[in-house]
Structure 1
Amino acid sequence: MLKRQQAENIIAANQQSLRSLERAITFSKNQFSVILLCCNYEFLRDIIQQQLAINGWGNERIQSITLDKKTTSLYTTIQSQLTIDQPAGLMIMGFESIYEIDDLLRSINQVRDEFRKRYQTPIIFWVNDQVLQKIMRLAPDFASWGSYTN
């Protein structure tokens, strides 16, 4: 009972962020966009994903991809794990556990145009504060395409 009450309190406190995320996905439907979603807690990410599904986004064919800690290329990882043809969105998670995150972010910046050419869908990057700061520093051109949601 206590966990359920805590979850309800967390959901209530984050409703504005959830609405902002839903708007960003809606406005980016069928076109490339980068959404940098800063979330420092895995349990909160899980709650937000559940709320998205409850609010109808589970039916919208949004694919989630969790990165392996040895990931070296985001572009090829997405290509190899994409199972839905023309998804309504991509959610990319696991950045905080990648061993060589600096190298990965530099490579994202170098191939940023390939993302835009290949994916006509919003790509939601679930990151924590530390990874968000690294994206801003190491992949500034890629980050400039992003909208930010907390």
Structure 2
Amino acid sequence: MTQRNVVFPPGRQTLYERNRYSPAIKSNGFLFVSGQVGSHEDGSPEPDLEDQVRLAFNNLNAILGAAGCTFDDVIDVTVFIVDPESKFETIWKVIPEFWGNAPHPTLTGVGVTWLYGYQFEIKVIAKLPDADMHLSKSD
């Protein structure tokens, strides 16, 4: 079995070990990040929706930073929203604080009925900044 190249953000390894998943894995020049929610360090949800979205992005950015990336390196985003019809506008007014300038990453939005006590989750794939150095000139 191939050893997974796992990326852990500072201060949250116990949370990931307790829940039995990796926050992110580097593979073939890409970073695959597990869905991030607006959880505090102890794993509890932030109750305010706008603050929960901000915290989810801050948790995402901690993982990206641990891998040497920023949100500018993100190429694909999937968001999961509980009851998107009633929450979309509130969530989407927070997004520009983190999203950056065009061109934006691809985006898939999924409405769900349950997120383990959360209202918003974001999952991304990013290109590792040093990935171009490992590609051959013929690529």
TM-score by length of 1: 0.30
* Larger RCO: 1 or 2 (CA < 8 Å, sep 6+): 1
Structure with the bigger percentage of helix = 1
Structure with the bigger percentage of strand = 2
